[in-house]
Structure 1
Amino acid sequence: MSNRSILSLIAAAILTGCGGSSTSDPAPETPTPTPSQPTSTITATTGVITGFGSVFVNGVEYETDATTVTTDDNDGASETNLQVGMVVNLSGEVNEDGTTGDANTIHYDEQLKGPMDSIDLFANTIIILGQTILFDDLTSLENFILSDLKPGDILEISGYFNADGELYATRIEKENEQTQLKIQARITSLDTVNKTFELNGLTIDYSSATFKDFVEADLADGQQVRVKGEYSALDAGVLVVSEVKLKEKNENHDEGDNRHVEGFITDFESSSSFKVDGIAIIIDDNTEFKYGDASALMANVRVKIKGEFNADGALLAKKIRIEHKTNLSIEGAIEAINLELSTVTVLGVEFEINNQTKMKDESDDDERFFDLADLAIGDYVELKGFVDSEGKNIATKMKRENEDENAETELKGKVSNIENFSFSLVGVTVTTDANTQFEGTNGDDVSQAVFFEQLENDMLVEVKGQLIDSIFVALKVEIEEHDDDDDDSNDNRTEFKGVVEAVNEDSLLVSGHQVLTSQTAKFKVDDERVSAEQFWSIVAIDDQLEIKGTIDQQGVITAKSIELEH
């Protein structure tokens, strides 16, 4: 009610109380102003789903009550078909606050689906149908843990491509049955006579395929396409496909159209001219940066960008968030939650949670619409993130799990305060003792004394251990980074799983890699230690091997240990 109306009511009350009256009409009330409605902007978005409630993509929470959801295999999908880690294309409206909106359509396509050829757990790479997939601590895993993967497992990959044409996986799902194979990559070795081309070395026979979004006559080397074929249509390195779909960015935009995009920087010319997901990006003096500045922009840096198109069709970035690699990790029970500051504390270490943090509940509660407000003191969580320029621990991934009283807690971070066979990691003091296993800079098992001779402040280290009477005791400590000062060696550590393709007198061919053995190599068959002679008498083509050692620039592996798994 307006001040004027209030004064009129007071005057009338005074007159009535004095016995007086008024014959004139009361002053009309001033109508209450109608609150202005928030404005919204139509926006197209490509990004990773980081949570639900309704759907979080690129830091915006989109309502999905009236959203049309489709997937590659289902035009009538729903929000329940979407999962954290999926890369989606979304069209909708973003509100003036920049953090909420309404999604009109959401579409999901996986980039790759097929049987795993091999995996390197140290290099963080998987080979599927000849395609190289990168993964890291931020990759969402569905239905498996990495160490349990075996050659032949069917995997579905969602992600985006880096400047080298490699597919970075934002999500990996293990399928329970053989399904249709799908591959997205750039065409090479096009042969229009025999109707074949290659995708990263895999021969594609398109003689009986249908074409989507273009015609066969438009096929050309360098085009990015996605092909589909039945599992049974793969034979001797040739896949006969039923569909070829053009995946080049051919978006039409008007000046002023808004666009949100996420991915790796490619086609880098300068910090003010590059591409992300095939879209030309420019910046100006008004571009705002988060977790870095323009000097951090270079090929293969992962970014999230919000901007609008100019008259030349380039996306002028208004905001750029630079995505950092995970350099800290911690597991444990939550000791404190601050909803106002959006922080949680585990083992005395405070992490900041924001609307870009990947959130997933893998506990028995299994909350799909899971956020900070759903957590409670004592909940067991795994946090991964990085330290920003202000020294804050920024969580890029948080997962709630069931606590296993016998489980080992894992820490990963940069070392400080090395003293008396102990050190600090992620703000936690780690102690070692006679029961601790140590892995040195070259991947070998070493003594406590040798490990601490190699250990230096700021080295990246992973620790598995237990909290005993408020003291974190390490059961295993591993130096994660390579010794960059060792110029005499071009070899890198590898933890490789693959299938035997050939057995020679003193070497193996495993998933395309020649494998040599050192004189001190150790051998196991089904978890049992065996001699070299026993191993060579047993190993055969199609056996699955787990190999630890080094790999050179030509892909030759020198094994320090080999385990045969029947």
Structure 2
Amino acid sequence: MKLNSLVALSSAVAITLGLAACGGGGSSTNTAASSSNKLIAGTITGFGSIHVNGEHVLTDNSTTYSVDGQSDDGSGLNVGAEVKICTRVRSDGSVMAADVISNDELEGIVTSAPTGTPCPTSGSLEVLGTTVNYNAELVLDGNSAGVNSMCDLVAGTSLVEVHGRPGTNGIDATRIEVKAVVADTEIKGTVDTIDTNNSTIALNNLTIDYATATVDGLTLDNSAVGKLIEAKLDPATFVESAPGSGNWTATAFKLELEDESFQECGQSDGNEAEIEGVITRGPGDNNGTPGDTSDDLANDQFEMNGSDIVQLDAELAGDSSMTALLIVGKEVKVEGAYDTNQVLVASDLEAEQSGNLEYAGIATSVVEKSTGTALTSSNYSVNKIYLVTLDGGTSSEKTFVVNPLGTTMDDSTDVYGDAFNMVDLLAGSPNVEFQYYVSGADNIATKLELK
């Protein structure tokens, strides 16, 4: 069973595309003139070139890739991975990637694994003593290690790489990949406390000895509290403080302050950004760095993903339906532009909706939503919205709205692999399972899995 091709993440409540995107897959050689810079940060939901946040981001031979700090040719990217893409919005409205940056949140040993029969589709585990939350939209890549569900992971034995976002209780995972070995044992998190006398910091349930660590961008005093950092650990030193305590210790060989999104792409005043993620601090929150008011939030500001400060523009700030969305732990997507203080001023704010409903059946019809035209191999486009009807063996069929740019396409049969798309539903009478949510009268697909 191939698991590395997929499971969609949250899909925006609005399914309309933010920008016109060029059709076709692979790379592009279109040389339309550039018009503006734009940062896009979110989760990969598909390829050809890269699908993120419902956008089709083109790539070409000039696009550079960085995966976990190492230069890459793009093959190291996977569905479910979190990315920051530095792009140019061209004069024809298409979006071309200049740099694609992908980093995991955790890499190391599983310290607590879920159990159950059947295995729960949502729950939590612990990696390096850190809580990792997951749901039915998780991308689980077992890497032929016999891991077909979260309950196949073994505490104290399984090694994993976790992609996701900081949540209200640990990491909200978007992708978990099982590894035979890990290149680095590493953890990201917000510094809870620092003990300068003993050269230790606390992240979640882990106390880290930094006495011999190299330090990048971080001052090791009380100003470190509240900062989002990455720690690279010596795995031989990772031990539980006392059996069954759930508290762990380790020695770090490197500590690094995590960049905010605008720093990844060298963004400047007026540059645009589109960021998808979790609200980690709400309006008016002054619980950032102790004694430092520079990261206190105004009543029209909030923090996303543990690092990015967002401010509502005047129109959004005056709209009670928008301010009602600013709840810690809520998944949102924002679009706007950076100001001179490197704060993202949001001109658009959308809540995200998880696809936690499931329905399986045989595909009986695939048509364009706007015209009713039947899908063929010659008229398929990732920029069209489709209606897919399934016969689930009940008295009535169920129809789903599918946006190829916002729906993860998963071939569990391994017949099509990463090339699987809507056209493959036309072959025979395929068994299909949807994950979806209901919006008005529509069933909005977040994941389409070929069984």
Superposition pairs for residues 34-433 of structure 1, below 5 Å? 40-66=35-61, 67-72=63-68, 74-75=70-71, 77-95=72-90, 100-120=94-114, 124-143=123-142, 144=147, 145-152=149-156, 153-162=158-167, 164-177=168-181, 179-214=183-218, 216=220, 220-236=224-240, 237-249=248-260, 251=263, 253-269=267-283, 272-277=300-305, 278-284=307-313, 295-311=324-340, 313-339=342-368, 341-347=385-391, 348-354=397-403, 355-377=405-427, 378-388=429-439, 390-401=440-451
Percent identical residues? 26
SS at match of 2:250: strand
SS at match of 1:375: helix
Shift of 1:393: 0.6
CA distance in structure 1 between the aligned counterparts of 2:46 and 2:418, rounded to whole angstroms? 8
* Paired amino acid for 1:349: K
Q: Is the 8 A contact 1:179 1:231 kept in 2?
A: no
1:409 corresponding residue in structure 2? none
Shift of 1:259: 0.7
Evaluate the alpha carbon distance shift between residue 190 and residue 273 of structure 1 in structure 2; reply closer, same or farther with a 3 A threshold.
closer
So what's the TM-score if we normalise by structure 1?
A: 0.58
* Paired amino acid for 2:175: R
Q: How big is the alpha-carbon RMSD for the aligned residues of Structure 1 and Structure 2?
A: 2.8
Q: Is the 8 A contact 1:52 1:370 kept in 2?
A: no
1:545 corresponding residue in structure 2? none
Evaluate the alpha carbon distance shift between residue 294 and residue 374 of structure 1 in structure 2; reply closer, same or farther with a 3 A threshold.
farther
Q: Is the 8 A contact 1:51 1:369 kept in 2?
A: no
CA distance in structure 1 between the aligned counterparts of 2:421 and 2:141, rounded to whole angstroms? 19
Superposition pairs for residues 537-556 of structure 1, below 5 Å? none
Evaluate the alpha carbon distance shift between residue 371 and residue 304 of structure 1 in structure 2; reply closer, same or farther with a 3 A threshold.
farther
SS at match of 2:236: helix
CA distance in structure 2 between the aligned counterparts of 1:356 and 1:97, rounded to whole angstroms? 22
* Paired amino acid for 2:398: V
Shift of 1:53: 0.3
Cα deviation digits, residues 276-321 of structure 1 (max 9, x gap): 2332323347569xxx855344221101222112455432323333
Task: Please list every run of 5 or more consecutive structure 2 residues that lacks an aligned counterpart in the other structure.
Answer: 1-30, 241-247, 285-298, 370-384, 392-396
CA distance in structure 1 between the aligned counterparts of 2:324 and 2:91, rounded to whole angstroms? 29
1:551 corresponding residue in structure 2? none
Cα deviation digits, residues 400-435 of structure 1 (max 9, x gap): 23xxxxxxxxxxxxxxxxxxxxxxxxxxxxxxxxxx
Evaluate the alpha carbon distance shift between residue 353 and residue 229 of structure 1 in structure 2; reply closer, same or farther with a 3 A threshold.
same
Q: Is the 8 A contact 1:53 1:370 kept in 2?
A: no
CA distance in structure 2 between the aligned counterparts of 1:96 and 1:239, rounded to whole angstroms? 51
Shift of 1:82: 0.4
So what's the TM-score if we normalise by structure 2?
A: 0.72
Q: How many corresponding residue pairs?
A: 359
Q: Is the 8 A contact 1:51 1:370 kept in 2?
A: no
Evaluate the alpha carbon distance shift between residue 336 and residue 113 of structure 1 in structure 2; reply closer, same or farther with a 3 A threshold.
same
Shift of 1:189: 3.0
Cα deviation digits, residues 221-276 of structure 1 (max 9, x gap): 22211111232232343211211111152736533210111111232128953222
Deviates more, 1:102-111 or 1:221-230: 221-230
Q: Is the 8 A contact 2:185 2:234 kept in 1?
A: yes
Evaluate the alpha carbon distance shift between residue 95 and residue 272 of structure 1 in structure 2; reply closer, same or farther with a 3 A threshold.
farther
Shift of 1:102: 1.0
CA distance in structure 2 between the aligned counterparts of 1:241 and 1:360, rounded to whole angstroms? 38
Cα deviation digits, residues 333-382 of structure 1 (max 9, x gap): 21111145412122221111112222233322233244323432522322
SS at match of 2:75: helix
Q: Which has the higher strand share?
A: 1
* Paired amino acid for 1:104: A
Evaluate the alpha carbon distance shift between residue 40 and residue 225 of structure 1 in structure 2; reply closer, same or farther with a 3 A threshold.
same
CA distance in structure 2 between the aligned counterparts of 1:165 and 1:146, rounded to whole angstroms? 19
* Paired amino acid for 2:410: K
SS at match of 1:373: helix
Evaluate the alpha carbon distance shift between residue 158 and residue 37 of structure 1 in structure 2; reply closer, same or farther with a 3 A threshold.
closer
Q: Is the 8 A contact 2:311 2:346 kept in 1?
A: yes
Shift of 1:169: 0.2
Evaluate the alpha carbon distance shift between residue 186 and residue 64 of structure 1 in structure 2; reply closer, same or farther with a 3 A threshold.
same
Q: Is the 8 A contact 1:185 1:199 kept in 2?
A: yes
Shift of 1:398: 1.8
Shift of 1:128: 1.6
Shift of 1:140: 0.9
Deviates more, 1:330-339 or 1:213-222: 213-222
CA distance in structure 1 between the aligned counterparts of 2:111 and 2:83, rounded to whole angstroms? 27
2:3 corresponding residue in structure 1? none
Superposition pairs for residues 524-539 of structure 1, below 5 Å? none
Cα deviation digits, residues 66-93 of structure 1 (max 9, x gap): 2111112522x12211000000111011
